[in-house]
């Protein structure tokens, strides 16, 4: 876990410890430890709208999407980035409808438990 400032908690895919647990598996523990004192920003392996939904359900306040953004940029420039963001948003909207949620704040752990 890397805390770049006192204003947020961000942890990325680099494993600073040897448990072998992935970011998404560690997220609930981090969210519980932070207990609302600061936003939790998660980053690592988020490639689809369903991944974003799961992270939100597990308590992340924000999800970084570095690689997909860069893939779009490298392949098609600004249009590629816009396409990646559009795809992620549409996928998130689809899974939200499937879960019968209409707003981000309705996405809770109960949905994926």
CB 57 within 8 A of CB 105: no
Which tens digits make up the pLDDT trace of 81-102? 999 999 999 999 999 999 999 9
pTM over 0.75: yes
The upper half-sphere exposure of residue 22, i.e. CA atoms within 13 Å in the direction of its Cβ, equals: 7
Domains of the chain: 2-102 (3.40.50)
Which tens digits make up the pLDDT trace of 31-86? 999 999 999 999 888 999 999 999 999 999 999 998 999 999 999 999 999 999 99
CB 7 within 8 A of CB 18: no
62-64 and 40-43: which strand pairing?
Answer: parallel
Calpha distance 41→60 (Å, rounded): 6
């Amino acid at each position: 876990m890397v805390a770049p400032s006192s204003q947020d908690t961000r942890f990325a895919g680099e494993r600073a410890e040897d448990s072998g647990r992935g970011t998404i598996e560690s997220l609930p523990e981090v969210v519980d430890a932070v207990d609302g004192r600061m936003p939790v920003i998660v980053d690592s392996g988020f490639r689809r709208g369903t991944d974003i939904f799961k992270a939100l359900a597990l308590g992340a306040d924000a999800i970084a999407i570095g690689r997909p953004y860069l893939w779009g940029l490298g392949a098609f420039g600004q249009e590629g980035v816009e396409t990646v963001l559009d795809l992620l948003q549409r996928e998130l909207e689809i899974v939200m409808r499937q879960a019968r949620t209409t707003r981000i704040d309705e996405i809770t752990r109960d949905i994926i438990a």
